Amino acid sequence: MLHRWDRLTFLHWSFEVDVVQRLLPRGLVVEEFQGAAWVGLVPFLMDVRIPGLPRLPWLLRFPETNVRTYVKGPSGESGVWFFSLDAARLATVVAARVSYRVPYFWSKMSVVETGAVKTYSTSRRLPGPRGAESKVVIDVGARYLPEELTEFDHFLTARWALYGTWGRRLLMARAEHPPWTLHRARALAWQGSLIEATGLPAPHGEPLVHWSPGVGVRIGYPHRV
């Protein structure tokens, strides 16, 4: 599939490695940085394009929010593990659960922009736990120059594979896209329970925040690893 991930915000918190590892399937291990696991809350606008079919913005463009961490698979390849993905289109939720075996949820969502201030809202509908929600308000600042980005910035944002499971089988799909254009950003407000709904404890402290206007993405077919 071809995607466009627009107006995307990365919010990250550190967690103890053992706390995150216990929620991962067999075959995946936490990829640490600075001795910690990192969990991201990532809201954005998704635009799905299926080769050979006409564009249907009313169906295939919608807000999404995912809760994720960073892992290594059996071969040592880095990737993303999604604890949850909330999307505003029920058809997409059903299709993604069947094809890529990732935990999508149908939610009421919105993305509102007022200049540099971006507000993302999520309220889960189904499947449960119903009532899981998130509201994030950020203020976007200046763009990072490429030479200003650190190894840590890339660790939190530059990922080229995603993992899922089919029963006891571990699956992986590749994600190809250009380097992110990243901006400085700060959280004006954030609240909600999407992270706790995954089985993780509530995050502590202020999040690390990055913002990007977006990238085009090609998602490969999932295959067994």
Average pLDDT estimate for 161-168 = 90
Residues 6+ apart with CB under 8 A from 141: 116, 183, 184, 185, 186
CATH number of the domain encompassing residue 60: 2.40.400.10
Alpha-carbon torsion (8, 197, 208, 35), positive or negative: negative
Tell me: pLDDT of 166 over 90: no
As given in the structure block, the two tokens for residue 167 are 């029963």
Q: Can you give the residue range of the structural domain that contains 203?
A: 2-224
pLDDT digits (tens, 9 = 90+) for 101-142: 678 899 999 999 999 999 999 999 988 767 899 999 999 999
How far is 189 from 69, CA to CA, in rounded Å?
A: 22
Q: 28 with 76: CB under 8 angstroms?
A: no
Cα distances from 49 to residues 92, 107, 220, in angstroms, run 12, 21, 13
The pLDDT confidence band at residue 94, using thresholds 50, 70 and 90, is: confident
Read off the amino acid at residue 51.
P
Average pLDDT estimate for 22-35 = 97
What pLDDT does 96 receive?
67
Average pLDDT estimate for 63-74 = 97
Number of domains in the chain: 1
Note the pTM of the prediction, 2 decimals. Answer: 0.93
Tell me: pLDDT of 49 over 90: no
pLDDT digits (tens, 9 = 90+) for 181-213: 999 999 999 999 999 999 999 999 999 999 999
Q: What angle do CA 30, 2, 85 make, to 5 degrees?
A: 40
- What's phi and psi for 197, nearest 5 deg? -65, -15
What pLDDT does 131 receive?
81
Give the Cβ contact number of residue 50 at 10 Å.
Answer: 12
The pLDDT confidence band at residue 1, using thresholds 50, 70 and 90, is: confident
Dihedral class, residue 97 (left if φ above 0, else alpha if ψ from -120 to 50, else beta): alpha
- Among 189, 184, 181, which residue's Cα sits nearest to residue 216? 181
As given in the structure block, the two tokens for residue 15 are 């967690």
Per mean pLDDT, which range of 6-10, 137-141, 157-161, 219-223 is the poorest? 219-223
Q: 193 with 129: CB under 8 angstroms?
A: no
Place of tokens 């929010």: 65
